[in-house]
Amino acid sequence: MDFKDQLKSSVDIVKVIGEYVRLRKSGVSRYTGLCPFHSEKTPSFSVHAGHQFYKCFGCGVSGDVLKFVMEFEHVSFPEALKLLAERNGIPMPKRAEYADADTRLRTAVFQMQELAQEAFRDQLAGSSGAEARRYLEKRGVAPEVSAQFGLGYAERAGRSLLRACERQGFTAEQMEASGLFGKRDDGALYDRFRNRLMFPIHNESGKVIGFGGRALDPGDEPKYLNSAESPIYKKSAVLYNLHRAKEGIRKADRSVLVEGYMDVIGVSAAGVREVVASCGTALTAQQVQSLRRHADKIVVNFDPDAAGANAAERSINLLLDESMHVRIAELEGGLDPDEYCKERGADAYRAKLDKAQSYFYWLADRARARFDLRTAEGRMAGFQFLLPAIQRLPEKIERVAVANDVAGYLGVDAGLVLENFRKAAMDRRDKKVAPAREPLRADERILLNLLLSDLDAREGLLPRLERLPAVEQFATRRIFKALFALHANGQFGYEELHARLEEGDQELLASAVLEDETNTSAMTLQLGEECLRSLERSGLRTQVSALKARVKEAERAGSLDEALRLAEELHRLERSG
Ligand SMILES: [Zn+2]
C-alpha cells in the first residue's frame, strides 16, 4: 500500500468534507449537503461513507477525499496529502517526488507566515510591544483573548522579519511571494508591516495565510493594512475567523457578520462564537458561499456610521443572490459591536442579534429617510430603491406578505409591487436548469450495489451473471464487464472499478450507488438471487421466442433439416427452464 492509500484508508471522507460542508445523513451511508463548488439552494451534493466518494448532481464534480481537498483548498496533490496527513496526525514520508516547484514555493510561503506569527507574538510580549499592549488593554482585550487570536506586534524597525526569513534560508523570490514584504525601487525588500498591531488571518482549515495590521500611530496610513496577495492568500476568498466560527455557525444555525478584526474579537470574547468579518474588502460572493455551506441565515451587524450602513446596504443584494436569509442588527448609542459588548454586556448584545429584523424593514427605513414619501415621485423613488432587494426574496409566500408591507410602508399600489415580483420570479425560473436523467432499472441497481458491497454475492452471483445475455441490455453493461474483469483478477474495490471506467460510466456508477441509498430496502443476497433468477427467466424467454422465429423461417424456406435441428434445440431449452 503506498502512502496515498494508507492515508485514505485512515481518514473518513464524511468527517473531512463535513468540516467544510454541513452534511445531513440521507441514507444508510449517504450524506447530502449544499455543493461547495457551485451555488445552489437545494442540496445536490452527496458523500458516500461506504465507498468514500463525493458527487454533485448539479455541477457534476466527483472524486475521493484527496480530490475534494485539492479542489476546495486549491492545492496540489502533494499539498492535499500533507494537509490531510497533518490534520490526522499521520507522519508523511519524506519523498522528493512529492514536491514540484509550485508546491515548494507555497510550502515556503506557509512557513514564512508561521515564522512571522511567532516573531510578531514575541515582539508583542517584548519591550518594543509596550505601546501595542497598552492599546489592547485600552480596548479591553484580555491577554488570554489576545493569545487565543494569535495577536502580535510588528516592530517599527522594519527589517527584523526580513532578517529572520533570511536566516532560515528563504530565497528573495520566496520572500517576495510571501505577501509580507515590500520592494524598493532598487530591488531591496523591507518589512511590509511596521509599528502595527498584527492579526493573523487563517484559511478555513486553520493555517495562517496572511495578516492584517492596524496602525498604532494615528499618523500612519492606511489605518488597516493587509498582506499582499500571495499564492496562498486571496483577499476576496477569505473571511476572518471562519475557521474558528464554523462550529458556532452550525450550532447557532446562523452567522454574524461584522466589519473589523476588533469587532470579531470582542463579539467572540462575549460568547457569540459564530462571528466573522470580511477583511480588507467589500463582501464577495465567494465569501458568502463559504458561509452558506455552514448556515443559510445571517445577521449583519456593521458599524453604526454612514460608511457602515452603506456597506451593509451593498452587502444585502449579494447575500440575497446567494439565497441567504438576511437580518440586520442595529445598535443604539452609536456603538460598534465590540464597544456594545463591553459597555452593555454579552447578554444585551445577544438579545440585539436575536431581535434583529429582516433586512427589508431596515432598508425600508433607509428609503423613508432618504426619499420624501409625501410626494408621488418620492414614493416611486423609494420603491425603485427597494425593488432589487425585495425581488430577490426566495419564498413566494414571503413575497406576497412583503408586497403588502412595501405598499403600506411607501404608500404605493400593492398591485404594482406584486407585478414586479411576478416578473422577477419569471426571470428566476428561466435561469433554473434541472438535470434530468433516466432512472436505472431496479434489478441492475440492486445487483450492482450488492456486488459492490458483498463478497459472498460476488462469489455466488458473478459467474452466473457473466453467462447472462440480458446483461448486454443493461445501461450499466460496461460497468458489469469491468466488474467481471476485476473479479477475475482477484481484486476488488469501488475505486478500482471507478478507475477502469470511462467518464460517462463513472457517472452512472456513482448515481447507481447514491440512488440506492435513497431506497430503504435492505440489500440482501436473497434479493440479488431473485433479481438474477428473473433476469435468467426473461433471458430464456427471449431465447425461446428467437428460436421459434428461426424454426418458422426455416420451414418457410423449405430447409426442413435446419428446421428440425432448431426445433430440437428449442425443445431442450424449454425443458431446461
Ligand atoms: Zn455542485
* Ligand 1 centroid – CA 137 distance (Å): 46
* Ligand 1 centroid – CA 37 distance (Å): 5
Q: Residue written as cell 399600489?
A: 413
Which of helix, strand or coil describes residue 231? coil
Q: What is the pLDDT of residue 327?
A: 95
* Ligand 1 centroid – CA 56 distance (Å): 5
* Ligand 1 centroid – CA 430 distance (Å): 19
220 and 226 Cβ atoms separated by less than 8 Å: no
Per-residue pLDDT of the chain (577 residues; tens, 9 = 90+): 688 888 888 899 999 999 999 999 998 889 999 999 888 888 999 999 989 999 998 888 899 999 999 989 888 888 899 889 988 888 887 665 556 787 789 889 999 999 999 999 999 999 999 999 999 999 999 999 999 999 999 999 878 999 999 999 999 999 999 999 999 999 999 999 999 999 999 998 889 999 999 999 999 989 999 999 999 999 988 999 999 999 899 899 999 999 999 999 999 999 999 999 987 778 998 899 889 989 999 999 999 888 899 899 989 989 988 889 999 999 999 999 999 999 999 999 999 999 999 898 899 888 888 888 888 888 888 888 888 887 777 666 777 777 788 788 777 777 877 787 777 667 665 554 434 455 677 888 888 888 888 888 888 888 888 888 778 878 888 888 888 888 888 777 888 888 888 877 888 888 888 877 655 456 678 888 888 888 888 777 777 888 888 888 888 888 888 888 888 888 887 777 5
Cell numbers of 391, please? Answer: 425581488
Beta pairing class for 196-202 and 208-215: antiparallel
* Ligand 1 centroid – CA 33 distance (Å): 10
* Ligand 1 centroid – CA 188 distance (Å): 45
* Ligand 1 centroid – CA 384 distance (Å): 34
SS (H, E, C) 232-285: CECHHHCEECHHHHHHHHHHHCCEEEECCHHHHHHHHHCCCCCEEEECCCCCCH
Q: What is the pLDDT of residue 432?
A: 44
> Comparing C-alpha atoms, which of 200, 268, 189, 202 is closest to residue 239?
202
d(CA 268, CA 257): 12
d(CA 122, CA 226): 20
* Ligand 1 centroid – CA 36 distance (Å): 6
d(CA 67, CA 293): 18
d(CA 474, CA 445): 10
356 and 332 Cβ atoms separated by less than 8 Å: no
Cell numbers of 33, please? Answer: 449537503
Q: What is the pLDDT of residue 55?
A: 94
* Ligand 1 centroid – CA 55 distance (Å): 8
* Ligand 1 centroid – CA 398 distance (Å): 27
* Ligand 1 centroid – CA 573 distance (Å): 51
Burial of 200 (0-12, 13-18, 19+ CB in 10 A): buried
* Ligand 1 centroid – CA 35 distance (Å): 4
Which of helix, strand or coil describes residue 100? coil
37 and 56 Cβ atoms separated by less than 8 Å: yes
* Ligand 1 centroid – CA 20 distance (Å): 14
* Ligand 1 centroid – CA 408 distance (Å): 40
Backbone angles phi, psi at 96, to 5 degrees: -60, -30
d(CA 551, CA 560): 9
53 and 13 Cβ atoms separated by less than 8 Å: yes
* Ligand 1 centroid – CA 13 distance (Å): 17
* Ligand 1 centroid – CA 102 distance (Å): 27
Omega prior to 388 cis, within 30 of 0: no
For 42, which DSSP code? S
* Ligand 1 centroid – CA 346 distance (Å): 39
* Ligand 1 centroid – CA 242 distance (Å): 22
Q: Residue written as cell 439565497?
A: 323
Which of helix, strand or coil describes residue 413? coil
Q: Where are the beta strands (DSSP E) in 30-81?
A: 30-33, 45-48, 53-56, 62-63
CB-CB neighbours of 76 under 10 Å = 16
* Ligand 1 centroid – CA 507 distance (Å): 14
* Ligand 1 centroid – CA 43 distance (Å): 9
* Ligand 1 centroid – CA 57 distance (Å): 7
Q: Is 289 left (phi over 0), alpha (psi -120 to 50) or beta?
A: alpha
* Ligand 1 centroid – CA 511 distance (Å): 14
d(CA 198, CA 219): 17
Report DSSP letters for 358-402, one per residue.
Answer: EHHHHHHHHHHHHS-TTSHHHHHHHHHHHHHHHHT-S-HHHHHHH
Which of helix, strand or coil describes residue 225? strand
* Ligand 1 centroid – CA 434 distance (Å): 13
* Ligand 1 centroid – CA 51 distance (Å): 19
* Ligand 1 centroid – CA 126 distance (Å): 49
Which of helix, strand or coil describes residue 179? coil
* Ligand 1 centroid – CA 44 distance (Å): 7
